[in-house]
Structure 1
Amino acid sequence: MKEYKAVINGEFIDNNEWLEIINPTDNSIAGKVTALKGKDINNAFESARKSQEAWENTHLLKRISILNNFKKLLIQNKNNLAEVMTSEIAKSLKDSLSEIDRTIELIEYTFEEAKRMDPLALTGEGMGAKNKLGIFSRVAKGVVLAISPFNYPFNLALAKIIPALVMGNTVVFKPATAGSLVGSLLGKLSIEANFPKGIFNVVTGRGREIGDLITMNKEIDMISFTGSVSIGNNIKEKGSSKDIVLELGGKDPALVLDDNNLESYSKNIIDGAFGYSGQRCTAIKRVITTNKIADKLVPLLIDKVNKLTIGSPYENKDITPVIDQKSADFIKGLVEDAKLKKATILTGDKYIKNLIYPTLIDNVTLEMRVAWEEPFGPILPIIRIDNIEEMIRVANESEFGLQASIFCADINNALQVAKRIKTGTVNINSKSQRGPDCFPFLGIKNSGQGVQGVRESLLSMTRYHGIVINY
């Protein structure tokens, strides 16, 4: 069995305490990671604090050079990283490799964007203050706590880690339990890349034992978290830093306003709803349209769902097991509630342990849980509404506000509706999605706080420091 150790102050931690990571595909043990204790957590933050000033005082191009060595090791170890990712989260090998490739591009873009974080130079003459020159530079916030989710254990980890480090922060990184193998491998590669001691620390273990210890440590200057609403809200309430960026849940709607290009609309909807078995915060999680359009759209959706392949991630199937049995039971409960309330199951509703067949549910009413709750799995409800005004109202009544999709041939009509949708981003004639990673990414309401994206992450992990020259 592969053992993956935590990394603190540039050294592997072996305390003979282990946490087993379960392979969702066959319930075997994919590997095990160090189960840290409270003392270890404190050591990680103390190491990050002690090394921060020297790291920030390292020249930007030197920081980029060190991080670029790390990037090269990521590329060299791409196949191993992808295989480990597939073993612990049941993402297809093809998609695991794609996630790594995408992230390498993000890292390279981050290096270039960091070089252009130029200071502001201002005079006071516009306010009647002569002989003053203000220079306002972006400086590191200090110690960043980065917490990543299970579904994108590589991309959503490094989208936090690299911007933080390149701008002179030090990092304590806590991967999700499922995702800890990949996270621990990042720690191993950081040692091989000769990271200065203490700038990057990987802490792993049982969340119930160390979760609050991690988020409440007094050394934290900023927290970047991606994960569930409940944990995100707990961090907001109890976390030691009020400087927080949160990426939480979603209930992204797809509003179909006309029937002019239903073939394209249906393809985008299915791709958006069932990619990585629907385990994406930006997955399309409800279709909202009129009866007239739905009657034409539904057969196309059924046809495309029935063409999805189902089974093992090692065979690059479209639909693979969801992360664990608890998640599968929750998803099944949403379907059962809809059936009890007279929804129509069009296809799916079949389960083999935590492998859930892609399920389309028609005639979903607003009294059904699946109309409002985030399933994080391969089910898609279709809500039939009388008119566009009602479609907008239903879309906006959700507690979530991450993304939405609008499908409409008339761009003027699409834009008018898009402006009224209360989400961070609205996609026109395409599925909801996080990328490109250089775009700002944000959610409102219970979907998040703050903004991510390459430049936005560089900004969120720095602050202005001003020097005023009086002459």
Structure 2
Amino acid sequence: MNKIEQMSALINGQSYQNGKWVEIISPTTNEVIGQVPALTKNEIDKAYQIAFDAQKLWAEMPLLARIKVLNQWKELITSHKEKIADLMVLEIAKGRKAAITEVERSVMYIDYTFEEMKRIHPRAYNGDSWNAKNKLGIFEYVPKGVVLAISPFNYPVNLAISKIIPALVAGNSVVFKPASQGSLVGLYLAQLAKATEIPAGVFNAVSGKGSEIGDILVENPLINVISFTGSPEVGKHIASKSLKVDMILELGGKDPAIVLADADLEDTASKIIKGAFSYSGQRCTAIKRVLVDAKVKNQLAKILVAKVAKLSVGKPEDDCDITPVIDNKTVKYIQGLISDALKKGAKNLIGNKVEGNLMMPTLIDNVKENMKLAWEEPFGPVLPIISFKDIEQAISIANKSEYGLQAAIFTTNINSALSIAKRLETGTVNINDQTQRGPDHFPFTGIKDSGLGAQGIHDSLISFMRPKGIVLNWKD
């Protein structure tokens, strides 16, 4: 039995507990490994009021002064990266090396955000181009106010920092809600923030079951911006509840890898495996379907099977390639998708075995458009293979999806790659590499049910600010 980690919320610069708890369950052992406060409406409303009251003075601080105190938090995150990684291993079954890498990547994100914010300058316009003589407009970017940042379980450091730091350095205050599974990591980050000179109330962290406090979180009238990463169902619900609030939504994906007959199949297969099975496929940008030219489908499938067979499967403490998925509900959902496909004529090439929450990496061949696995997002270590006869069919299958986050094209013909890329309905197309988020300063966006708004460091900063103009008028 693991030691139970108990974390506090952060409200007005103070650790906060109310004696009511949400239990955190280990994906690896299905045992209780932690507790976080189950906050009430009054407590959450208090956090918003405090954030609202603290924001204006924070925004009035010079940029370099804000950076100075936020840098203290960055330094603490760096010095505590081993503990943060241990919590990720415990709470979300992420391999320890990957957890350390996530913390280090987040520190780089913070540094780059500081530098990018320094490069966002006011814009000046004269009126001459509109025949408006003696008129000069100066437009600076100002913070929007109070930001609600909701992070997912799969990247509890990086996808928290990528919301919180741009919002804070731009002069907003933040109420942060980590995913229930991920709350130990999120609230530990908050306790590190508490040890800095960030003014009380500027950054607050709350916790509780999303099913119980979700509407309370998003309906508060003091919110100016919601930045959410999570499931499409929850994202759509947030949008329906928050019509008067600016929103940045990063939702699901069904990212295709389109493999043409002229592709380097060995290299392509290596990148597909990495793209599909890293962190057990629990990434919105994971490759979630392979669309391959029928002429080379069997050859590619054979190479993929050989590479899947070499993936290590086991505990996150052992840095295995495949570790337990986040919970048993997810296991059952993925098994349902696989069963539906097999009943309708698909073929299991490898895997399709389960031990607790640990799912063996699975390849399903001969997947057709009448199967759920062709369209629904599994968020786990299963990859369907769909063959196509020509490029038109491949593009059609790719674009029929309700998602539009990322896609990958594998080919040695740059003309084919660019021609297909232009026609794919998605946020980003990767040519001859896996679908992936980043580098973090690249714009990151999805269309359809994959999201709303743009992220990436520059775009995130702009999302948390608005232009405000002062127009000078004079007489000759």
TM value normalised by structure 1: 0.99
Q: 2:290 aligns to what SS in structure 1?
A: strand
The answer on whether the counterparts of 1:258 and 1:409 sit within 8 Å (CA) in structure 2 is no
Cα pair distance change 1:101/1:79, threshold 3 Å = same
Match of 1:406, as an amino acid? I
- In the other structure, the counterpart of 1:75 is 78
1:116 to 95, 119, 126: 119
2:164 to 161, 166, 185: 161
Deviates more, 1:74-83 or 1:285-294: 285-294
CA distance in 1, matches of 2:33, 2:412: 47
The yes-or-no answer on 1:107 pairing with 2:110 is yes
- In the other structure, the counterpart of 1:383 is 386
CA distance in 2, matches of 1:241, 1:433: 32
The answer on whether the counterparts of 2:152 and 2:182 sit within 8 Å (CA) in structure 1 is yes
- In the other structure, the counterpart of 1:7 is 10
Gaps of 5+ in 1: none
- What does the per-residue CA deviation read over 1:145-164, in whole Å, with 9 as the maximum and x for residues that have no partner? 00000000000000000000
The answer on whether the counterparts of 1:215 and 1:240 sit within 8 Å (CA) in structure 2 is no
The yes-or-no answer on 1:309 pairing with 2:285 is no
The yes-or-no answer on 1:196 pairing with 2:199 is yes
- In the other structure, the counterpart of 1:125 is 128
The answer on whether the counterparts of 1:25 and 1:90 sit within 8 Å (CA) in structure 2 is yes
- What does the per-residue CA deviation read over 1:241-265, in whole Å, with 9 as the maximum and x for residues that have no partner? 4310100000000000123411110
The answer on whether the counterparts of 1:25 and 1:312 sit within 8 Å (CA) in structure 2 is yes
- Within-5 A mapping of 1:71-470: 71-239=74-242, 241-470=244-473
The answer on whether the counterparts of 2:223 and 2:245 sit within 8 Å (CA) in structure 1 is no
- In the other structure, the counterpart of 1:30 is 33
The alpha-carbon deviation at position 240 of structure 1 amounts to 5.9
Q: 1:189 aligns to what SS in structure 2?
A: helix
- What does the per-residue CA deviation read over 1:161-189, in whole Å, with 9 as the maximum and x for residues that have no partner? 00000000000000000110011011101
CA distance in 2, matches of 1:335, 1:365: 12
Match of 1:418, as an amino acid? A
Superposed structure 1 runs of 4+ greater than 4 Å apart: none
- In the other structure, the counterpart of 1:19 is 22
CA distance in 1, matches of 2:57, 2:419: 51
CA distance in 1, matches of 2:418, 2:293: 19
CA distance in 2, matches of 1:424, 1:323: 27
CA distance in 1, matches of 2:265, 2:440: 28
Gaps of 5+ in 2: none
TM value normalised by structure 2: 0.98
Match of 2:118, as an amino acid? K
- What does the per-residue CA deviation read over 1:206-243, in whole Å, with 9 as the maximum and x for residues that have no partner? 22221100000010001000000111000110126431
The answer on whether the counterparts of 1:220 and 1:241 sit within 8 Å (CA) in structure 2 is no
The answer on whether the counterparts of 2:254 and 2:404 sit within 8 Å (CA) in structure 1 is yes
The answer on whether the counterparts of 1:223 and 1:241 sit within 8 Å (CA) in structure 2 is no
- What does the per-residue CA deviation read over 1:95-139, in whole Å, with 9 as the maximum and x for residues that have no partner? 000111111111100000000110001110111111111110000
The answer on whether the counterparts of 1:276 and 1:320 sit within 8 Å (CA) in structure 2 is yes
The alpha-carbon deviation at position 3 of structure 1 amounts to 1.0
The answer on whether the counterparts of 2:5 and 2:184 sit within 8 Å (CA) in structure 1 is no
CA distance in 2, matches of 1:465, 1:333: 52
The answer on whether the counterparts of 2:408 and 2:430 sit within 8 Å (CA) in structure 1 is yes
The alpha-carbon deviation at position 85 of structure 1 amounts to 1.1
- In the other structure, the counterpart of 1:54 is 57
The answer on whether the counterparts of 1:218 and 1:240 sit within 8 Å (CA) in structure 2 is no
- What does the per-residue CA deviation read over 1:2-34, in whole Å, with 9 as the maximum and x for residues that have no partner? 210000111111211111111101112221111
The alpha-carbon deviation at position 292 of structure 1 amounts to 1.1
Q: 2:277 aligns to what SS in structure 1?
A: helix
CA distance in 2, matches of 1:464, 1:440: 20
CA distance in 2, matches of 1:291, 1:237: 42
CA distance in 2, matches of 1:110, 1:123: 30
Deviates more, 1:301-310 or 1:231-240: 231-240
The yes-or-no answer on 1:42 pairing with 2:48 is no
- What does the per-residue CA deviation read over 1:403-454, in whole Å, with 9 as the maximum and x for residues that have no partner? 0000010111100010000000000000000010000000000000000000
The alpha-carbon deviation at position 303 of structure 1 amounts to 0.7
CA distance in 2, matches of 1:291, 1:133: 62
CA distance in 2, matches of 1:440, 1:408: 24
CA distance in 2, matches of 1:211, 1:8: 18
Match of 1:58, as an amino acid? M
Identity %: 53
CA distance in 1, matches of 2:201, 2:30: 35
Aligned residues: 471
CA distance in 2, matches of 1:304, 1:101: 28
How big is the alpha-carbon RMSD for the aligned residues of Structure 1 and Structure 2? 0.8
Q: 2:408 aligns to what SS in structure 1?
A: strand
CA distance in 2, matches of 1:454, 1:92: 26
Q: 1:177 aligns to what SS in structure 2?
A: coil
CA distance in 2, matches of 1:150, 1:83: 15
The alpha-carbon deviation at position 293 of structure 1 amounts to 1.2
Q: 1:292 aligns to what SS in structure 2?
A: coil
The answer on whether the counterparts of 1:255 and 1:406 sit within 8 Å (CA) in structure 2 is yes
Q: 2:89 aligns to what SS in structure 1?
A: helix
